[in-house]
Structure 1
Amino acid sequence: MTASTTRRTTATSAKSRIAAIGAIAVAGTLLLTGCGDQTKDKDAGSGTASTKNAPLADKLPKEIRDKGVIRVGSDIAYAPVEFKDKSGNAIGIDPDIAAAMGKQLGVKFEFENGTFDTLVTGLRSNRYDIAMSAMTDTKDRQEGVDSDTGKKVGEGVDFVDYFNAGVSIYTPKGKTQGIKTWDDLCGKKIVVQRGTVSHDLAKAQAKKCPKGKTLGIQAFDDDQQAQTRLRSGGADAGSSDFPVAAYAVKTTGGGKAFEIVGDQVDAAPYGIAVSKDQTQLRDAIKDALDAIIKSGEYDKIIAKWGVEAGAVKEATVNGGK
């Protein structure tokens, strides 16, 4: 889709490799719980790091090193990337990667829950030190441009890229109505999370649909609300990043609610967003990510969540197109 400044992912017009949906079964017993509050999850990504023994502690800015905490803005309702368990603790790919990096840096990554489309604003206002929330690295985000209008809306952010993901369409199980591609959605209704690539793709597709075959778009604050609407029969299809769609297919209704249709599209990197003026923090995070990739800890985390197809071989700064 055309890149918006509030989306999780971005369009690069390339199909990504499809990870085995069944592999995500390792997390199948976890509930798809979520919330939209602005409270801190002080246990998330904490690990047992301390600056005394951390090999990369001196890479961090002194004020963060002294605090011992990196504040992470995240929409913690996007399983399996980040979501809450039955006890309300943040779990998933992002918290696990953050905890591993925290051991390298000697700090705790403290996840703070917020709606996705406010995370970049939270960086600008210094509410968060970083944003880590399945956010796609895009040129528009790097430059602070609203892709819908082409207008500059901020100074932009830098990204440390840590994962690759595409976008998938899913439908009620056994009710695909012949949907395989975005063109097949004309004349139907789709549910999406507001401000995501899926939302952008839906808007772009709606403009292509012929008269008499309007694409109805229902956008929600979080992905779980969209899934609930689809499951209740209020729409024909939904769209999310592949890891999220695959997890929903595997876990919702005991695996009997949804099915993925067609191939992934728009493969692009997820990035950890850092303010442009925080280059030392950005580089410290890059070094920490490279360290856990080299040690093998990163691959263990990716395998734990069954999304090996999205793994990266090295940390990259601003690799999005």
Structure 2
Amino acid sequence: MKIRIVIPLLLASLAGTACGAQSLTADPSHAGESAQPAVLDQAPADDKAATVINAIKPDPALTARLPADIRSGGLKMTSSLGYPPMNMIGSDGKTATGLDPSLGRAIARKLGVKLAITDEEFNSQIPGIITGRYDILMSSVSDTPERRTKVTFVDYVNAGAGMLVAKGNPEGIKTPADLCGKTVSVVDNGSSLALAEDTHAACEKNGEKGLDILKFAGDQEALLQVSNGRAQANITDYVVAAYKAADPKTQVEALAIDGTEALWGIALHPDGKELIEAVRDALNALIQSGEYGKILAAWDLEKLAIESALINGK
């Protein structure tokens, strides 16, 4: 396989602390006492779902089920900010925004705890969960069997892949099969790279020239290769492709890749069963109340909705 690894310019990592809810006192030994009301922070103005999030009431029963360190210190979440509309940096240059931070804030608020969101490079995120640096990972991560060997997923949306091509689609690209012999950009070590590699193998199996794959650490760099003409296509998630194509400055258009829909999950350490189940139940409460649907609608992503939260697809 011909794969060129392109090392992008070093980008400064931005770490932002997002707004969640203050921890509730939830000691089971004091179950008969009146719980003190939580002092809740407000979601930032850049969060399109702020009105919905700020109205979410914490559930003391869920708070009581959390590990003590999370009840007292809150949730530590990581997201790779640069994948709009799923996760990005707000107008102040530091605040995390997008659908993933919105749902992260909503879950934390339902659990009655604070939430700190840290921007992290994609390849460092799962190791950060394994080592305990972070409690949850929400960064549009596909729930795959391979990743389940390292982390446990609470699935929260269903999404598919897409492609970005130059405005007017001069190469006439319609499906991945049309990429044979072409240069394609992707984010390194993600599901988009796997799709590019599978397409490359299929091209060669059919006697055609394979793909010239350019791998990048970030989505912005991968997209730039189409805008500057270095790549004929960028494989990414369709929601991201559609968002970028809506900006006339990019001079690209989005194509959906049929049959690629899959669950995306919130990644957690597999040993943290209490937290895994609490996150699942908090998400299900948001789904049942309709708040989940309103948050997706605020980002024009209603098509990603699932009927109930799953653990590893079950």
Aligned to 1:195: 189
- 1:242 equivalent in alignment to 2:217: no
- 1:304 equivalent in alignment to 2:298: yes
Superposition deviation, residue 263 in structure 1: 3.5
**In structure 2, what is the Cα distance between the partners aligned to 1:166 and 1:117?**
21
Contact 1:73 1:111 in 2 (8 A): yes
**In structure 1, what is the Cα distance between the partners aligned to 2:253 and 2:282?**
37
Match of 1:92 among 90, 94, 98: 98
Contact 1:190 1:238 in 2 (8 A): yes
Deviation per CA, 1:178-218: give whole Å up to 9, x if none: 11111100111111111111111111211222456231111
**In structure 2, what is the Cα distance between the partners aligned to 1:36 and 1:314?**
37
Superposition deviation, residue 86 in structure 1: 1.9
In 2 relative to 1, CA 113–202 (structure 1 residues): closer, same or farther, beyond 3 Å?
A: same
Contact 1:37 1:113 in 2 (8 A): no
Aligned to 1:4: none
Aligned to 2:81: 76
Question: Which blocks of at least 5 consecutive residues in structure 1 are unaligned?
Answer: 1-34, 144-155
In 2 relative to 1, CA 207–250 (structure 1 residues): closer, same or farther, beyond 3 Å?
A: same
**In structure 2, what is the Cα distance between the partners aligned to 1:173 and 1:138?**
32
Contact 1:163 1:271 in 2 (8 A): yes
- 1:123 equivalent in alignment to 2:135: no
**In structure 1, what is the Cα distance between the partners aligned to 2:237 and 2:173?**
17
Match of 1:40 among 9, 15, 25: 15
**What SS class does the counterpart of residue 266 from structure 1 fall into?**
coil
Deviation per CA, 1:127-179: give whole Å up to 9, x if none: 11111110111111112xxxxxxxxxxxx211100001000112011134111
In 2 relative to 1, CA 291–212 (structure 1 residues): closer, same or farther, beyond 3 Å?
A: closer
**What SS class does the counterpart of residue 174 from structure 2 fall into?**
coil
**In structure 1, what is the Cα distance between the partners aligned to 2:111 and 2:92?**
27
Deviation per CA, 1:35-89: give whole Å up to 9, x if none: 95555311x2x2344414431211211111011x211121111111111022121
Aligned to 1:289: 283
In 2 relative to 1, CA 104–236 (structure 1 residues): closer, same or farther, beyond 3 Å?
A: same
The number of aligned residues is: 269
Superposition deviation, residue 252 in structure 1: 5.1
Deviation per CA, 1:78-126: give whole Å up to 9, x if none: 1111110221211010111111112211112211111111111111111
- 1:179 equivalent in alignment to 2:205: no
Q: Aligned partner of 2:88: which letter?
A: F
**What SS class does the counterpart of residue 230 from structure 2 fall into?**
coil
**In structure 2, what is the Cα distance between the partners aligned to 1:252 and 1:90?**
24
Percent identical pairs in the alignment equals: 36
**What SS class does the counterpart of residue 134 from structure 1 fall into?**
strand
TM-score, normalised by the number of residues in structure 1:
0.79
**In structure 2, what is the Cα distance between the partners aligned to 1:164 and 1:38?**
28
**What SS class does the counterpart of residue 226 from structure 2 fall into?**
helix
Larger radius of gyration: 2
Equivalent runs, 1:96-111 vs 2, <5 Å: 96-111=102-117
**In structure 1, what is the Cα distance between the partners aligned to 2:202 and 2:235?**
18
Equivalent runs, 1:137-148 vs 2, <5 Å: 137-143=143-149
Pairwise CA RMSD: 1.8
Deviation per CA, 1:271-290: give whole Å up to 9, x if none: 11111111111111111101
Higher relative contact order (CA 8 A, sep 6+): 1
**In structure 1, what is the Cα distance between the partners aligned to 2:308 and 2:288?**
8
In 2 relative to 1, CA 263–124 (structure 1 residues): closer, same or farther, beyond 3 Å?
A: closer
- 1:314 equivalent in alignment to 2:287: no
In 2 relative to 1, CA 127–158 (structure 1 residues): closer, same or farther, beyond 3 Å?
A: same
Contact 1:119 1:131 in 2 (8 A): yes
**In structure 2, what is the Cα distance between the partners aligned to 1:252 and 1:287?**
41
Q: Aligned partner of 1:107: which letter?
A: V
Contact 1:173 1:257 in 2 (8 A): yes
Equivalent runs, 1:233-272 vs 2, <5 Å: 233-251=229-247, 253=249, 257-272=251-266
**In structure 1, what is the Cα distance between the partners aligned to 2:129 and 2:114?**
18
Q: Aligned partner of 2:115: which letter?
A: F
